A and B are shown apart, each in its own frame.
Chain A
């Protein structure tokens, strides 16, 4: 029985929604719990074991010095480390602070910011440690999570689609909201996985799964967004849930520039964002995913 692979679920700055996806597998939860040993999942169980773990799911972004330290230790304790969701994968909505005056942000919420220790930035897990697989979404799709758990435990790379929301939207049979309703939509540059929900509910995609592979955010901005909204509003559209995802970060910054409201990144981040852009370009040009 102790032969079962050990699963850990760990949280950093986040809303709990992605780990909730695991508990939302109402029909599969008890089966999953038999297939793996749940070694550390504080939201679900008081039985907590120290590492090592075979598979660690990480929710949340890194926003405090202590969390960075905890993450480094967690990586050392984990055979596979998978980020679940936009916070862990791209810094989350809280990464909007990366483009803002952090001290001013803190003063707006707390009368005594000095009681609170926090970094000026919100960064993805991969900015700090090696990540074996990134699962997109805000929130993640629970069936994709099931695929990730099953695949990694079986020793192969998870098969999750990297197409754009546009393709999923066509397949769902939804009439295009850009063409027929003149709505701005991030679908062409957004990673699929959600099931193309928003257009099916008569609204444009707001990019909660982050950039797809090789997204052309420039063409999207110039031909889909800017004819339908002011440049500052278009900038806000890219700087939303996945503001610090490299292609959305740069795409949004270009729009801010056009609006005459430049938003520089926090100085500590510029170089690492460039590296991420290079890496994602290299990864997207590989035809076969490397086996783990």
Chain B
């Protein structure tokens, strides 16, 4: 059956298994890809506007509501940016608890994506629930890991979605030693389970797709960077995080309610997320993660976005290993929150959300109220890269049926674990061929 690629218009109504909703418009003329637009029309919720005039103590609670899947990313980046504005640094034990908390979010978000959102693609199944019929033990193991990520967030934050405990200067209350100690045996199981998950994923055939990417992530001299670091690129760029806006800009495109990021001055696209992080900092991962990566023979640099699932599984190993270490070393503390000198100023912070680098900047008035907020989520940074990838995919697979192309486009988009709620609506796919 030959497919005539001209004069056709195809609609695939909804792109699924992503967080939030948007749509994809593809225009083909003959054998040329005319246009690819990741159309994000999630209704704008205008967070940067509604933060103005609020007291600095509100920012973590409000920005959490940008995303129910990665609230810690927003809260942590916000409180650290505000601490920078007040020229405060938190003591080591608070910093360690914050890293621990972020590990919980990585585990929860990554295991969700691996088992319920992405792995079904590898078997052409519709959902994690269908996957569970075929691999009941794998999915149950995945859900139990996910539950442990959430249990850690509950212990440190009061609840898993929109936790309440992170404060500017530290925490509202430090956890009791017993609240964390009870998680230790669970995390020992989690680490073993995460290693098994890596072996399972490594046994699966992943699609070939190679592209030259500029990987951007934060890097820290002493640790696998999660909560702070310089912003580095796989092309050699290294900048202080405070200079982020001199090197990356957000532009508005007519087809999207999300702003899109580009590098300055080249205007080129870049890639953030687990694959970017491992490509720049593999050697700093916890020993069990490095060992299992070697065991399965996983090579870096890796320029195949379909290997994002491997990267996520390796980061789950890292998060369980580091989490276990931090849980074991917790001795409790006396100071939950650093005293703050509230003053006028500007503060910036970057952290690594499960989906990639996130940047916040706040301008604070003398009374501690927010004058200006700028928030750059990972998905708006990846958006232009996703569109660029889709062009390549379309050029390579032009001769296949529209239906196949649509499914493959969705799979490619899912590699990025896009969190469209961090800006978006229904992801509809429409291909127009002229």
Given contacts A47-B126, A48-B16, contact A26 B143 (CB under 8 A): yes
Measured in the bound complex, the distance between the Cα atoms of B42 and A63 in whole Å is: 10
Is B159 close to A, CB under 8 A?
yes
State whether B14 touches A42 (Cβ < 8 A). yes
Q: How many CB-defined contacts (below 8 Å) exist between A and B?
A: 185
Q: Is the CB of A233 within 8 A of B42?
A: no
Question: In angstroms, how far is the closest chain B Cβ from the Cβ of A240?
Answer: 7
Chain B 17-46 per-residue mask, 1 if CB under 8 angstroms from chain A, else 0:
111110000000000000000000011111
Quick one: which of A33, A93, A100, A118 contacts B65, CB cutoff 8 A?
A93
Determine if A48 and B14 form an interchain contact, defined as CB atoms under 8 angstroms apart: yes
Q: Are A30 and B129 in contact (CB under 8 A)?
A: yes
Q: Is the CB of B43 within 8 A of A198?
A: no
CB distance from B282 to the nearest CB of A (A): 30
Q: Is the CB of B127 within 8 A of A44?
A: yes
The answer on a CB contact under 8 Å between A43 and B173 is no
Q: Is the CB of A106 within 8 A of B421?
A: no
**Mask of B128-151 contacts with A, CB within 8 angstroms, 1/0:** 111010000001100110110010
Stretch in A6-14, A215-223, A273-281 with 4+ CB within 8 Å of B:
A6-14
Counting chain A CB atoms within 10 Å of each CB, which of B68, B144, B257 scores highest?
B68
Let me know if A228 is at the binding interface, CB within 8 A: no
- Which of B18, B44, B71 is the one whose CB lies under 8 Å from A43? B18
Query: Knowing A116-B257, A198-B158 touch, does A42 contact B68 (C-beta < 8 A)?
Result: no
Bound: A96/B62 CA distance, A: 11
- Among A20, A46, A105, A106, the residue within 8 A (CB) of B127 is A46
Select from chain B the residue with minimum beta-carbon distance to A18. B68
| Most A CB within 10 A of own CB, among B116, B150, B421 | B421
| B50 CB contact (under 8 Å) in A105, A118, A200 | A105
Interface residues in A, total, Cβ within 8 A:
63
Size range of the chain B interface in the assembly: 35 or more
- Known A-B contacts A44-B128, A241-B65; A112 and B254 likewise in contact (beta carbons under 8 Å): yes
Select one of B61, B69, B161 contacting A240, CB under 8 A.
B61
- When distances are taken between beta carbons in the complex, the residues of chain B under 8 Å from A38 are 127, 129
**Residue contact B45 to A94, C-beta cutoff 8 Å:** yes
Q: A206 an interface residue at 8 Å Cβ cutoff?
A: yes
Nearest CB to that of A119 among chain B residues? B43
Query: Is B127's CB under 8 angstroms from A13's CB?
Result: no
Decide yes or no whether B67 CB sits under 8 A from chain A: yes
**Distance in angstroms between the alpha carbons of A115 and B171 in the assembled complex:** 41
Nearest Cβ distance between residue B39 and chain A, in whole angstroms? 11
User: In the complex, which residue of chain A has the Cβ closest to the Cβ of B74?
Assistant: A15
A43 to B127, CA, bound (A): 9
Q: Which residues of B contact A44 (CB under 8 A)?
A: 16-17, 116, 127-129
Most chain B CB inside 10 Å of its own CB: which residue of A14, A19, A67, A93: A93
Chain A residues with CB under 8 Å of B49's CB are 97, 100, 104-106, 108-109
Does A169 interact with chain B (Cβ within 8 Å)?
no
Q: Is B298 an interface residue (CB 8 A)?
A: no
Residue of B nearest to A48 (CB): B14
Bound form: Cα–Cα A16–B146 in Å: 17
Q: How far is the CA of A42 from the CA of B66 in the complex (A)?
A: 19
In contact, B252 and A29 (Cβ under 8 angstroms): no
How distant is the Cα of A45 from the Cα of B120 in the complex, in angstroms?
Answer: 9
**10 A-B Cβ contacts within 8 A?**
A12-B43, A15-B65, A20-B68, A20-B161, A30-B129, A48-B14, A67-B43, A100-B50, A116-B257, A240-B58
Ordered nearest first, which 6 A-B pairs have the shortest CB separation? A17-B68, A45-B127, A47-B126, A197-B158, A105-B49, A26-B147
Spell out B's residues near A (CB within 8 Å): 13-14, 16-21, 42-50, 52-55, 58, 61-62, 65-69, 71, 112, 116, 120, 126-130, 132, 139-140, 143-144, 146-147, 150, 158-162, 164-165, 167, 171-173, 252-254, 257, 259, 336, 410, 419, 421, 425-426
